[in-house]
Structure formats: C-alpha cells, structure tokens
Amino acid sequence: MQEQLELMLREAEQEISGCSNPNDILNTKAKYLGKKSVLNSLYGKMKDLDAQERPAFGNQLNQVRSQIENLLNLRAVAIKEASWKSEIKAIDATMPGLPFGRGGYHPLSIIRREIDEVFLSMGFEIAEANDIEDEFHNFDALNTPQDHPSRNLADTFYVEGGFLLRTQTSTVQIRVMENYKPPIRIISPGRCYRNDKPDPSHSPVFHQVEALVVDKGVSMSDLQDTLQNFAATMFGHKVKSRIRPHFFPFTEPSAEMDISCVVCEGKGCRVCKQSGWLEMGGAGMVDPAVFDILGIDSELYTGFAFGLGIERIAMLKYNIPDMRILFENDLRMLRQFKGEM
C-alpha cells in the first residue's frame, strides 16, 4: 500500500501541473479526493490491518491527502493569477468607457410589490420582523408540538443562544397579536429559511407572504373570498380558487389553497399535471389554542391565516420552470424585466 500511495501522489502531481482552468482543478480533485477515489477507498481497508499498523497507515493517508490538497490549491491560485494577468494585458486604456445601463427590478421584487398592492387595496397593513427568531415565536406560540419534525436540525437552521432562522413568516403574526388588540388585518412578507436541498421547487432561502385577519365573526367564507380576490387580481379574473382539507398545528380547521391553472385555464396540462389546479399554500382558521397562548379571547374573536410562496407566484406568472433561476442572477434573464413596474 505504501508503494501505491507514492505512485498515486506522483500521478496526482503530474496531472495537477497540467491543469489549465478551474474546471480541470475540480475534475482532478474529484478523481483523487472524491468519494469514489482510490485514496478514499483505502480508508475503508484500514479495518483489514492489524491494530498496531492502523495509526501509521492512517497518518500516511492523511499526509497524502493533505499534499494533494495543497497542490490543488497552489495550482488554482496560479491559474487565477495567470487569468488576471492576461485580462490586464488585454485592456486598452485609450478605449472610451462603457455607458452604465439602466437597471431594473428583480422579478421577486416586482411580485412582492404587486402582492403588497393587492392586499393594501383590500385594507391590509404590512408588518415585518427579524429573520432571527426564538423557538417560542417560531414554534411554541404556533401550537407546534415538541416532537414535531419541523423542529429537527434536518429541517431548521439553529444558531447560538437558543435562536433560529425563522422557518415561516407566521412569527410576525404572533408578534403582532402580542402587541396589538383585535381587529387585526395584516400581511407579513419576508425571507424564510429551511434546511432544504436546492432543486427546481425548493431552496434553503425563500420568500413568503402570510395574511392574518382577527375580528369578531370572521369565517372560512371570508378566507375563501379573500383568496379568490387575490387570485383574480394577480392572475386575471378567469382564475378560480378552491380550498381542500389539510392539517397545520396553528389552524383549525386547516386547508390547502389551489387556483385553476394559469397556463391551461383549468383544462389540464403538464404544469398542473393534468389536474387543472395548482397548489398555492396553506390556510385555515386560527386555532383557539393560539389565541389562548397570546391572551386573546377565543370566545369573542375568530380569525383566518394563509401563506403564499412568492417564488411560486413568480414562477407561475412568468412561466419560470426552475426556482433556482430566480437566484442565479443571470443577466440574460434579469434584463427581460427592466420594463416592469
């Protein structure tokens, strides 16, 4: 194995010295240090050695790994410096400067402003709070049990001091109900954070807007009417809405909100998976237990709440197939929105 390590190191040195761009560095790193590399497989063979031989062999493996990492880092720096020097040589100081182009709003900012305007026209106010929250406002006050999966490290980003990055903008609703007496009619737009792997429909950082209405005599029909008004204003008057039974810890009864597909107008297509409907978010009547925690008389007041994903609305309105496109800052995509707003 000692000879195999020495041979591997020599081969790595030769291959790294031949790298000419960052992509070569990444490929070489994967070959020699990746999960399927020979070096990584040798760690698994340590169990076959005598107990006395394992420490020395493990130390050798770590040394070879460290040497390869250093060679990769040095070569990456050299490639970057060479690139800078070639760019500097290519600069013609006598050329006139480039004019500054006119900027535009990001599609998420455009949608956020449109959402604000829709709800402001319906008599809502905008409330905001910090992205860093405590467990009481993010979970306990929202009637979330201690053993709920959303409290796990696999779902939530925790920080020092018992705080966390809020997983939903419902935390703002709790703070509003703590400090203001009903009637309450607010929306709470902002960033949220969940430990999700980025894919076409998920991101560890995303944007939500939640609505809360608390007053005497508020019912599910008020929730349905508000949702329908929002959908019609946002996507056109041909769009219909519906609610389906669901479960959330902080609403009872709970529901999922759908709108008729904005692409096929409810006829069925690839976007809506031939169902004619698109899921928009969760909703329901505020659970009396939440009111009791916050000192609001649940016998006198009722309320509804619902949450919408801003990225989801932007993807539907602009026919964007992958959420990651909204965060890549590709100028070719962003320039298409310069004329908006």
- The residue ranges of every structural domain in the chain are 2-90, 107-337
Gap between the Cα atoms of 43 and 258, Å rounded: 52
According to DSSP, the residues that pair with 283 across neighbouring strands are 255, 306
Gap between the Cα atoms of 141 and 280, Å rounded: 24
Fold of 107-337: BirA Bifunctional Protein; domain 2 (3.30.930)
Provide the pLDDT for residue 134.
94
Gap between the Cα atoms of 47 and 68, Å rounded: 24
Provide the pLDDT for residue 89.
65
Tokens 């939440």 found at: 290
Phi-psi region of 210 (alpha: psi -120 to 50; beta: other; left: phi over 0): beta
Phi-psi region of 302 (alpha: psi -120 to 50; beta: other; left: phi over 0): beta
Collapse the DSSP code of 209 into the 3-class scheme (helix H, G, I; strand E, B; otherwise coil) and give the result.
strand
According to DSSP, the residues that pair with 307 across neighbouring strands are 210
| Whole-prediction pTM | 0.67
Q: Contact at 8 Å (CB) between 2 and 60?
A: yes
Tokens 């759908």 found at: 258
Provide the pLDDT for residue 251.
92
Provide the pLDDT for residue 112.
95
Consecutive 10-residue averages of pLDDT for the chain (341 residues) = 79 90 88 82 77 81 88 90 74 77 87 95 95 94 88 90 93 94 95 91 92 96 93 89 90 91 83 86 93 94 95 90 89 81 51
Q: Give the full edge-to-edge strand order of the sheet including 241-248.
A: 125-126, 184-193, 205-215, 302-309, 277-286, 251-260, 241-248
Q: Contact at 8 Å (CB) between 311 and 206?
A: yes
Provide the pLDDT for residue 1.
66
Token output for 110: 């455009």
Provide the pLDDT for residue 332.
87
Provide the pLDDT for residue 87.
66
Token output for 169: 């903008």
